[in-house]
Structure 1
Amino acid sequence: MFNGMKLDMIDVGAGVLRVRHGGYGPPLLLLHGHPRTHMTWSRIADFLSPHFTVVCPDLRGFGKSFQPLDTSDSRNSSKRAKAEDCIELMRRLGYDRFAVAGHDRGSYVAFRLAMDHPDAVTKVAVIDSIPIIEHLERIDWRFARDWYHWFFFAEPEKPERAINADPMAWYSAIKPDLMGREAYADLMTAIHDPAVVHGMVEDYRAGLTVDRLHELQDRAEGKRVECPLLCLWSIRDDLEELFGDPREIWRSWAVDVQGRGIDSGHHVAEENPVDLANSLLRFFGSR
């Protein structure tokens, strides 16, 4: 797990991020989803680090990275704010240009990086996601039933109370046998910390407020991702079932889209790391 990689706490100006980094070759930033930390990438990093200099942070609000100050619109937990953290992180590691992959909530940060910083991002991979407003504009009863947490997490205080009352009940789908002992212990620390729970919920509140507005502005201005975009999705999750082929949706947001489904449940980096790592290696390793 993270063979030969360093674990650092790096000040990015707004606060301090916990970061695992190392390897050989061009820089590749990996961004985790909810409720994970950078530890979700442990097996992926070992596949990729012989070919890339891999950088895996805990996003602000998650894991052992800093907690931003609260605002009424959750803008300090926005994907734009998290993208700015990533830009500064990579600069402090010596990289002005890099590739990025994100899973779940981390894919929205990767998307925002590619939209806001086209001169910095060479390629982007989004895993198990479509843009936030594409979700919201396609809502049906199935989405309301199965993705209700998007809207519950938008409520003030109640989500934190529910999760903190029994974190293991809320996150009952976590499977330690798939994660590895060290990653599981790290995640247990995160979900039992009320400050981290709040930070993770604020990420969703930002999604329905400031992040949604940023995407609406992008669409109004005709902005698209200019670099190559890889869309991957877990075929035993429900993204394709709910919304159809994710590649078709991403083609409204990027000029060069490719992708495929992977035989996995939602946490693909843990459930099928070989297929995911090979997909990323082919995409980021090609010219």
Structure 2
Amino acid sequence: MFENFTAETVETGEASVFVRHGGSGPPVLLLHGHPRTSATWHRVAPRLAGRGFTVVCADLRGYGRSRGPAPTADHGAHSKRAMAGDMAAVMRALGHERFALAGHDRGSYVALRLALDRPGLVSRVALLDCLPISEHLSRITPEFATLYWHWFFFARPDVPERVINADPDAWYASRGDPEGMGEENYAEWREAMRNPRVVRAMLEDYRAGLTVDRRHEEADRAAGRRLEPPALVLWSVRDDLEELYGDPLRIWRDWAADVTGHGIDSGHHMAEEAPRELAAALGDFFGA
């Protein structure tokens, strides 16, 4: 994976962030979702580098090989604002003062927070397979609760740690396979899933989502804050976003003045399942 990319750990003060970076040209930061690591981009990053971008793929705080502070009672240590601060520090350490940004799934919430909090850093933002957390929570239906039950299970104290760590291979068995993910990506992911510290950090990400992150988004809406950089919204047509909400762009237009997007013929992990189509869409958007 990631031939001709450099792998290193960047110290941000609060966290140690594992990154892969390569290519040359305008910088692009790619953020993975749950339960993946930065390796999920191994089929997309080289394509973007081939189109003339410097590509940075980072493990989010606590995921994969990144490490952060101990969890806090208010879950703020794993808030999207804290994670966004990590990514701003990483890009600055790598010499990038302004950059394009893409996030998938949980990584999209970090991308949204970074673009809202520090719009001067972000030239363009792509948000993949997501709506703002507060938008999901304001639209709870039996269908949403059935499909997204894990949000609420993960938010429980202590219980999900005991369940997952009792047999992580069984818990995550349906989340990926070597053929679909690529053997090296799969091996890296499974190693991370067997680390109780990683499991705890991933659960704290969800706990923050239903508490401090939701409050931050609600404060944004109350203050009339919207995304300033142009936004691209992409979703997997074989996932559940359209099933639950219809056209996601209709909701995102309340959050961004300049938003475009479309569906991609893929299941949820589009970077692994439809890398050619995703890289083309991101490359066209970031190069516009």
TM-score by length of 1: 0.98
Q: Which residue of 2 aligns with 1:223?
A: 225
- Aligned residue in 1 for 2:199: 197
Partner of 1:177: 179
Summarize deviations over 1:186-223 as a string: whole Å, max 9, x none. Answer: 00111000000000010000000100000000000000
Q: Which residue number in structure 1 is paired with residue 22 of structure 2?
A: 22
Does structure 2 retain, via aligned residues, the 8 Å contact 1:133–1:212?
yes
> Alpha-carbon deviation of 1:237?
0.3
| Distance (whole Å) between structure 1 residues aligned to residue 118 and residue 279 of structure 2 | 25
2:261 pairs, out of 259, 262, 275, with 259
Deviating above 4 A after TM superposition, structure 1's stretches of 4 or more consecutive aligned residues are none
Q: Specify the SS of the correspondent of 1:33.
A: coil
Percent of paired sites with the same residue:
59
TM-score, normalised via structure 2 length:
0.98
TM-aligned CA deviation for residue 165 of structure 1: 1.2
Which amino acid is 1:58 matched to?
D
Contact 1:227 1:256 in 2 (8 A): yes
**1:47–1:277 contact (8 Å) kept in structure 2:** yes
Question: Are the counterparts in 2 of residues 128 and 239 from structure 1 also a CA contact under 8 Å?
Answer: yes
Aligned residues of 1:67 and 1:195 also touching (Cα < 8 A): no
- The aligned amino acid for 1:265 is G
User: Equivalent residue of 2:209, what SS?
Assistant: helix
Matches within 5 A, 1:6-45: 6-45=6-45
Whether the 8 Å CA contact 2:235–2:262 is kept in 1: the answer is yes
Name the CA distance, whole Å, in 1 between partners of 2:133 and 2:218: 10
Structure 1 alignment gaps of length 5 or more: none
The residue that corresponds to 1:155 in the other structure is 156
Q: How far 1:140 sits from its partner (Å)? A: 0.6
Partner of 1:69: 70
Once residues 226 and 137 of structure 1 are traced to their aligned partners in structure 2, the CA distance between those partners, rounded to angstroms, is 23
In the alignment, the residues of structure 2 paired with residue 142 and residue 73 of structure 1 have an alpha-carbon distance, to the nearest angstrom, of 29
Instruction: Give 1:177 shift.
Output: 0.6
Amino acid at match of 1:208: L
* 1:10 Cα deviation from its structure 2 partner: 1.0
Letter of the structure 2 residue corresponding to residue 284 of structure 1: F
Q: For 1:207 and 1:33, how far apart are their aligned partners in 2?
A: 13
Count of equivalent residues = 286
User: How far apart, CA to CA, are the structure 1 residues paired with 2:12 and 2:29?
Assistant: 15
Q: Which amino acid letter does the alignment assign opposite residue 30 of structure 1?
A: L
* Separation in 2, partners of 1:70, 1:196: 12
The superposition leaves residues 132-162 of structure 1 with CA deviations (integer Å, 9 ceiling, x where unpaired) of 0100011111111111000011100111111
Letter in structure 2 aligned against 1:18: F
Unaligned runs of 5+ in 2: none
Structure 1 contact 67–196 (Cα < 8 Å) conserved: no
